[in-house]
Amino acid sequence: MSATVVHLLRHGEVHNPNRILYGRLPGFGLSDAGVRQAEQVAAHLADRDIVQVVASPLLRAQQTAKSVAARHQLEVVTDEGLIEASNVFEGARVSVGDGALRDPRYWPKLRNPFRPSWGEPYQQIADRMLAATYRARDRAAGHEAVCVSHQLPIYTLRRHLAGQRLWHDPRRRQCALASLTSLVFDGDTLIDVVYSQPAGYSDPRVAGA
């Protein structure tokens, strides 16, 4: 049997004029630029042997997945395991490096950055993402699958697979908008991880995750 590839695709840019941290909040879809990014990555994957397209239930992931699925005449399958991490700051105007977290009101929620105390534990994220990846791999055995998810879950899984500590500096995540983190399997064994940016570079500090 040939190798199986699971492409972990981060969704495109989100329409977020108020620049809030939206997390799992409903109704946040792609911006015009995000739609273009989704089409760019769909074109990049058009000639690949993709037999399965899976997505987080959140709107931005579903929209990105539909662009890819349309190229292969596939339906999008929803997998809750690919959802964004939960975060107590949902709805607030906070982002990496903007200084908002220096407000003493937020400090009790920041007491343990290694778990982290403000949201879903990193290990829990890695475990559910790995399970979703394995489900996609098994359904696409010998072919390729695309799993559309979010920056933190994808990057957390990548660190887990590399045997790295899961807590990290979010400003240094290698997971641009509409980027691909492609996992190559020989049977059940992971043999390679390939990162690519079909829609170009995006700053991990900028709202739109």
- Kindly list the structural domains of the chain, giving each domain's residue range(s) and its CATH number in brackets, ordered by start: 4-196 (3.40.50.1240)
Q: Which helix (H) or strand (E) holds 184?
A: strand 180-186
* DSSP structure string for 52-81: EEEE-SSHHHHHHHHHHHHHTT-PEEE-GG
Q: Residue 209 — pLDDT band, cuts 50, 70, 90?
A: very low
Structure tokens at 34: 């995000």
Kindly report, residue by residue over 12-50, the tens digit of the pLDDT: 999 999 888 899 999 999 999 999 999 999 999 999 999
| Reported pTM | 0.90
